[in-house]
Amino acid sequence: MSDEELIRQANVEIEEERLLVAARLLRQVEKQESLTPGHCRVMEQAQVIQNVIDVHLKPAQDDPTWKKQTESHGHWDTLIYYKVEEHSKLTCRIETPIEASLLVPLLAVFNESELYDQWMPKFRFPIKMGVRQSLKLTDRPGRGAQVCQVTVDMPFPISDREVVYDVYAVDAIEELSLISMKGTSLQVGDADGAVAEPEPGIKRIEFEVGWVIRQCPKDHPSLQNSKHEYAENEPVLLLSLTQFADAHVNYVPVSIINFVTRTALVGQWNSLLQVAQDVKDGKRPDHDKCIQDKQELYGWVNQRIEAMCAKMD
């Protein structure tokens, strides 16, 4: 294929959120100087997403760097792992199987950032911690791509924190039978100037989140002690999420690790799943309206879920 044909086909793939395929085509272009900044961004995003996928496809129980923190079995089966790396970098990993019919409601809860403060838990005891406000600053090219700002009340003596992050999704169904998403914090001036300086008394932090959605392996450890009766007539998907936040503290006490991984994170994750269930059951009119008003996004997601499920065993 000529450079022109490669770029033309890459643009088609980009329109369909197939960034891994688009990036492979763009890397074959001989005259790299003919690529636009948007093309270069796609190649960078594709590499980041590939790294996310590589992490999530390796079972946590086979990686000694992940420490199992908690396991719960009720309405959902959830495993939570964590690791503390250099400079007190705390990364958490969550894995939960769900029925396929819950995915669109779940993505709506995650994607509609302006509704976060309706459902994200707020803690007042033993420490104060919770979302104060959430905003969508701007949309980005791509279905569901956006820049979000979330401000969090933190326990004394830590000053309140804020994250501004960019999130986008990648369709890798045809080649890997999965969907992946990535959120990465931005700096002042990013997103064409949409990211302003934080307000006085608030410290801006670094944040990363990566999702992989795929068929749940039948031998996944979360299913071994399951009490949940999964629907027999629909596929079971595995939600796998890794999340890192650099709160700019020099040392993370064990008490904070335990609170974040056992209480705050579990509470936030269970709230996310419960709100998604409420959306599915018609109990969240604001989210339901977003789904109906944004069929270009959520209708497309439904179609891609059907395509992914059709490839399952």
Where a domain ends, among 26, 51, 76?
51
| 188 lies in the same domain as 298 | yes
Residues 91 and 225 in one domain: yes
Same domain, 38 and 105: no
C-alpha span between 273 and 245 (Å, rounded): 21
- Do 162 and 285 belong together in one domain? yes
The phi and psi torsions of 124 (rounded to 5 degrees) equal -120, -15
Task: Please check whether residues 229 and 297 belong to one and the same domain.
Answer: yes
Residues 27 and 70 in one domain: no
Task: State the total domains in the chain.
Answer: 2
pLDDT for 111 equals 86
| CATH code, domain carrying 139 | 3.30.530.20
Instruction: Work out the mean pLDDT of the chain and round it to a whole number.
Output: 87
Residues 19 and 95 in one domain: no
Regarding whether 268 and 168 lie in a shared domain, the answer is: yes
Write out residues in the chain with pLDDT < 70, as ranges.
87-88, 121, 123-128, 246-264, 313
Q: What is the pLDDT of residue 181?
A: 94
The predicted pLDDT at position 178 comes to: 95
ω into 157 cis (within 30 of 0)? yes
User: What phi, psi does 272 have (nearest 5°)?
Assistant: -60, -50
The label of the residue with tokens 């002042």 reads 188
Residue 14: give the domain boundaries: 3-51
pLDDT value, residue 251: 57
Q: Are residues 139 and 18 in the same domain?
A: no
Domain match, 44 and 87 both: no
Same domain, 130 and 10: no
Clarify whether residues 164 and 184 are in a common domain: yes
